[in-house]
Structure 1
């Protein structure tokens, strides 16, 4: 008796399911070794894939055809017809003769050539028309006996195990890797040891080809509470919705972790500064919430240095002092603190490291931290002894260091801006992924349809110096979005494919014109959200809510106390025409710059009591103020940094020099556009198309207590009030630093946010020092046109930016 039963031809092309399942339920318990949900339909589909394609079923195909067979009550006609007409089947068999087809099917099912009698039997059936080339494949399958049946059972067990592991791990299973699966199954025979080897090979396959899922945020800037003023356009209709909040970030991260096989959870810097939570708690509130996630790595951003190295060391102490044992590696390969300073107390102790390595059971991923060097040095407050190395040179050196250790899957965790990341990727060798921050970039083309300003696809893919793909991603800002990037590598550690989803975190209430949506309107919005993978309605994490509540309760009085009323929208801007405002169109500020920066400088001037003029860097003012009531909390969000008012004694020539420096900082150097100057009692014309040193003209001063504008003379002696940050020469204001070093600076020790509140209450509202907060609160609006510091502006291309009375001030 042969190992193959040739007495069971299939009737009329209709394959009886019971016949096929009989093969799979007989013999050794190999099929039970598969760690997969199994049943007659799943087993039948797996057998069909092996017979027709010589491979395991892909997870999607297994699910589809199992359901189809169940619906058809086991009738295989549709499956046979589809498989036999598929491109994969034709590519495998169409150029074969009938004899070659029979031999091939025997080989892939039983690991041997067809015996002469068996081959003759099936060829006769084909030649007589009793069987088709499609049906004879399953006839061979269902005729298995003895040794053939043991081989087949083991192959099917290996197939089921492979499919199950691929499904569970989300490993790649595409055209490039089908050959590996076919080779894996070819090696399976009747010996159970070959099945064990196949399982081991499958585990190795999954370890290599399962995606690394990077879950990431950046630039949350102490924005721990949700944004209650967000607006999205659903089907073109503006709809108010709550977004973000760190407790929602916690929930979303854990949701994604549950569905990720090889996850990395990363933060790309600027966790702190920006709201009253940092002003009040100096990073402790941020750290407590971050520790609920316990990031695999955190990269330093420029704002981590706003309270200098000592303040950063305190924050990192909070971050790594969690009582439950969370330890977050803090990465910044190009930041070198001096030994004996807060970030490196001694030669053996450093609070930051160059990189971290994550081992996923044999597959290792290196993560290197890179901070933005020039901006951090020029626009934050690191110690003078803390060195910042070149970003590209440092990145390549650390990539090479990891490569020498055999690590070929490399992620740069940067705080370096999106456009810089794209350029950096093209200048390096060996980098696979860049997860970035600093530019607050929203990626994901679907967001454009929602009325948001997106800068590119998520992820953005560019090529490195060797032409290999690099996946670049960023996750917007302010705890509103969580990025989910899936990266597939090949055995050499090269990126085969990357994709993912930027998840915008939403509440579940929606309003239009102040009215909550209900009924059909609400259902329409919910349907749109459900159809948009980038949108997620997320319930805040309970424990995160309790932590946030602990800190919020301490701020309740501040949060609820109204200190002013804005008569109009007070727009934020840095450089005129830049479009930084989230409230106003660029036309509203393109000629003269930001309304709110002007009002802040006026407040500083009044609260200095001595100064003739006030100078403030644009980036030190953080938000628009919409028309209506605003609170103490709003003021601390407007002016969030730990700055005080400083009076400087300067000459007119020094003032002109510092203005030129402030513009050159971003126009000619690597500094932030936040250095753009705003002033009270000082005004000018500015032409960015001119060379450095000759961009300002017609500079005029109005002395304290005078109504007359006069030309600023180089020999004039002027008292200037500014904030303590730029008084130290930061953000490109080098002459301020020289004046301070000369002993011509006096720190008033007046908190600059408190100065703004006192200006509202006393200078605008008429209250006396020590009086309670005024009720009703005082009203403020934009300063008169003649008081704007930038009276006319020509951009770097030589184009004058003129006022647009339709949307902005009608200043002449």
Structure 2
């Protein structure tokens, strides 16, 4: 076979025309519904179709204006050259394993030195190819005739399917080899297998104001594509005034109007569990949904509010407003299985109360087995466990490696912006496996994720293309604007009410980035100091005991406040979870254990990182986790001095009810709660924060050295 490829190459690759496949310009009607005769690339597309080089999509479309990836370009060029893509030599690109759908084409072209990779030994098959990239590839063919069609494009502009077809067709035509006529009535083109288009969002967090743009994007995708599935990967609730005011009703109205096929529960769906009404708002959300929910590792059976809404079965006839382990959707005659997973961390980072969570890998294996038993071989995991989150708990990459049979994972939780699908094609011991695609669409309805994935008859992924649509560039759907209007009116009124405080500088809420580790989840911040100062002052009003310090988890501080007049809406957005103030009686040893837990990941981020008032903490992040705390001191008002915390003494501490209940893994606080050493005061955290801002003559935007990592001082 090698000799055959070399013969083709030396004879005609230089002209990019082999095996007598060059064709005359097409004259018959286009077989593609979206390629009319007046289309700029009509001739090139129809020419290549007649030569058998390209096919269309299900439904008879070609999608000529879709951007081409490097992998897709390799496939089209290899097809034009009629190269053997089966018996090939490994191209040794680290991101092109044998399971990659473009592996054969890339390998064949690399062997002939028509293409090469990047300096880091990658080929980047899913990266959009530019005209500059394509020029380098075509330029590697020594005697390729100059192509007029390639001229006039900017080097950094993306190449479309139509443009590439025109370039290749021109080269074939210029080869001068006689070829068959274009069929006058070509058959409607189809691709092998079944192509599914998945639209997905996640971590929308009550940003209802962005749903009108999402509605437009979803509508456009549904009009352009066949076999569309629309999924929400959880954390629809909490985060803005829309939730504080309506507890999910505004979000549900938007989601129902757009139309989703399924949703998985995020951890923040359970945030109201500790309220007097418990999870009633979530139960109402489920009942009102015009779609089913999936949760293979979530058990609602102990909470009476969900009686009649929950079953631990996989259903082929799911009902709207009900919860299942998994569901089967029949799309154009093909069965697709969808099951859900919610992070087990929910018990520590939210308030699920009687709702329990089981191991994600165990439940995923059960779900896949159930689907396969029903004859379903196209399986989607709709997850809220994080793309590459804490490996000691759960994440999507480990799910893909541990559970065979999952084709697509639509993920959430860590707000990851995956610009293209991430492919997992090896198991836990490095052995090759069928590809699993992982997608996630960032947060706050900023993007609509799209994934077009083709399956063969055995349910194996053979081709895929995915991208994020920037909703900031999309027009609003008028129907959704009108639907949102009554909710928005009330939110705007609350949002815009000024509290009588003016900031000369922003109260920042930093998060770690590639350039800086500075974060509300790993460093003292002025915002955290003001919040805890307010907690300490308010708590002292409700007890005769001395409250020695106040604690606020960094993960609960969600936004900055810009310079200018502060509004109620801005205050609530900083502390959006509806937490209340609590008092705890804990020992010095428990406090030390809590601070060890707080700084265990430093300088990396940790939602349980504690901001403090009334005390000072010194720790050393260079030491082993669990042995980092150097000193904890509280300010003794009787002596006007800082005094060291003693292990054997009991101290009264203020914090929010979530942390006092053991949230973020503070088991020592959870123990105190169970033993009756916690008193919930029922005072709103954002109102306490607002009162503290209003009490200040000057709002400081600098830190005070309350929390010091001595490793960073050396």
Question: Is the pair's TM-score, using the shorter chain for normalization, greater than 0.5?
Answer: yes
Give CA deviations for 1:230-278 in whole Å, capped at 9, x if unaligned. Answer: xxxxxxxxxxxxxxx1211111111111111011101111110111211
**2:652 and 2:244 mapped to 1: Cα distance?**
28
> How has the CA–CA distance of structure 1 residues 780 and 686 changed in structure 2, closer, same or farther, with 3 Å as cutoff?
same
Q: Say if 2:690 is the partner of 1:741.
A: no
What's the offset of the Cα at 1:397? 1.7
Using the TM superposition, give the Cα deviation of residue 361 of structure 1 relative to its aligned residue in structure 2, in angstroms: 2.4
Task: Find the residue that maps to 2:208 and give its secondary structure.
Answer: coil
Asked if the contact 2:520/2:557 (under 8 Å) is kept, the reply is: no
- Name 1:215's counterpart in structure 2: 199
Partner of 1:462: 424
Query: 1:673 aligns to what SS in structure 2?
Result: coil
Aligned to 2:708: 791
Higher Rg of the two aligned structures? 1
State the match for 1:391 in structure 2: 360
Q: Name the residue aligned to 1:678.
A: 611
Q: Aligned pair 1:318/2:285, yes or no?
A: yes
In the TM superposition, what are the counterparts of 1:48-447 in structure 2 within 5 Å? 53=51, 87-88=81-82, 137=180, 157=185, 159-160=186-187, 162-163=188-189, 166=190, 172=191, 208-209=193-194, 211-225=195-209, 245-308=210-273, 312-318=279-285, 320-321=287-288, 327-339=290-302, 341-345=304-308, 351-373=322-344, 375-383=345-353, 385-419=354-388, 420-444=395-419
Provide the residue aligned with 1:482 in structure 2.
448
2:660 maps to 727
CA gap 1:700/1:293 in 2 versus in 1, 3 angstroms: same
Residue 676 of structure 2 aligns to a residue whose secondary structure is: coil
Answer with 545-554 or 434-443: which moved more: 545-554
Please state whether the residue corresponding to 2:306 is helix, strand or coil. Answer: coil
Is the 8 Å Cα contact of residues 459 and 472 (structure 1) preserved in structure 2? yes
Give 1:302 shift. Answer: 0.8
Q: How does 1:596-675 map to 2 (within 5 A)?
A: 596-608=527-539, 609=541, 610=543, 611-663=547-599, 673-675=606-608
Higher mean displacement: 271-280 or 31-40? 31-40
Against the structure 1 CA distance between its residues 366 and 628, is the aligned structure 2 distance closer, same or farther, given a 3 Å change threshold?
same
Q: How far 1:333 moved relative to its partner?
A: 0.5
How many angstroms apart in 2 are the aligned matches of 1:38 and 1:552? 44
Structure 1 regions of 5+ residues with no counterpart?
1-14, 25-30, 67-82, 92-131, 142-154, 167-171, 173-204, 226-244, 445-457, 507-536, 766-778, 794-799, 804-812
Q: Match of 1:593?
A: 524
Q: What secondary structure sits across from 1:307 in the alignment?
A: helix
Aligned to 2:7: none
Q: Deviations over 1:281-328 (max 9, x none)?
A: 11111111111112111011111111129654533533542xxxx621
Aligned equivalents of 2:266 and 2:480: distance in 1?
A: 24
Contact 2:583 2:653 in 1 (8 A): yes
Structure 1 residue 430, shift from structure 2 partner: 0.9
Distance 1:635 1:362 in 2: 51
Alpha-carbon offset, residue 749 of structure 1? 1.6
**Distance change (3 Å), C-alpha of 1:706 and 1:359:** farther
Give 3-state SS (helix, strand or coil) of 2:323's partner.
Answer: coil
Query: Would you say the 8 A contact 2:538–2:688 is kept in 1?
Result: yes
1:572-591 alignment, distance < 5 Å: 572=509, 579=512, 586=517
Q: Distance between the aligned counterparts of 2:605 and 2:522, measured in 1?
A: 20
State the secondary structure of the residue aligned to 2:641: coil
User: Matches of 1:44 and 1:553 in 2, distance apart?
Assistant: 53
Q: Distance in 2 between matches of 1:59 and 1:736?
A: 57
* Aligned mates of 1:43, 1:714 — CA distance in 2: 80
- Judged with a 3 Å threshold, the aligned counterparts in structure 2 of structure 1 residues 486 and 54 are, in CA distance, closer, same or farther, namely closer
- SS in structure 2 opposite 1:629? strand
Contact 1:602 1:614 in 2 (8 A): yes
Alpha-carbon distance in 1 for matches of 2:386, 2:621: 23
Maintained 8 Å contact 2:263/2:292: yes
For 1:449, the equivalent position in structure 2 comes to none
37 and 279 in structure 1: CA distance in 2 versus 1, 3 angstrom threshold: closer
Shift of the 88–634 alpha-carbon distance from structure 1 to 2, 3 Å rule, reads: same
Deviations 1:645-681 (A, max 9, x none): 11223332332233234455x68xxx99211111101
Per the alignment, residue 534 of structure 1 pairs with none
Q: Using structure 2 for the length normalisation, give the TM-score.
A: 0.70
Q: Please say if residues 613 and 682 of structure 1, whose CA atoms lie closer than 8 Å, have aligned partners that are also in contact.
A: yes
- Measure, in 2, the Cα distance between the counterparts of 1:288 and 1:618: 31
Does the 8 Å contact 1:662/1:731 carry over to 2? no
| Higher-helix-fraction structure | 1
Give the Cα–Cα distance (whole angstroms) in 2 for the partners of residues 781 and 47 of structure 1.
68
1:741: Cα distance to partner?
2.9
- Per-residue CA deviations over 1:108-127 (Å, capped at 9, x if unaligned) read xxxxxxxxxxxxxxxxxxxx
Deviations 1:34-65 (CA, angstroms, capped at 9, x unpaired): 98989899999999879x847997689x999x
Is the Cα–Cα contact under 8 Å of residues 305 and 380 in structure 1 kept in the other structure? Answer: yes
Q: Alpha-carbon deviations, 1:450-477, whole Å to 9, x = none?
A: xxxxxxxx11112143521111110000
User: How many residues align structurally?
Assistant: 561
C-alpha offsets along residues 736-792 of structure 1, whole Å, 9 cap, x if unaligned? 23323333332222111111112222x325xxxxxxxxxxxxx41236524x2x122
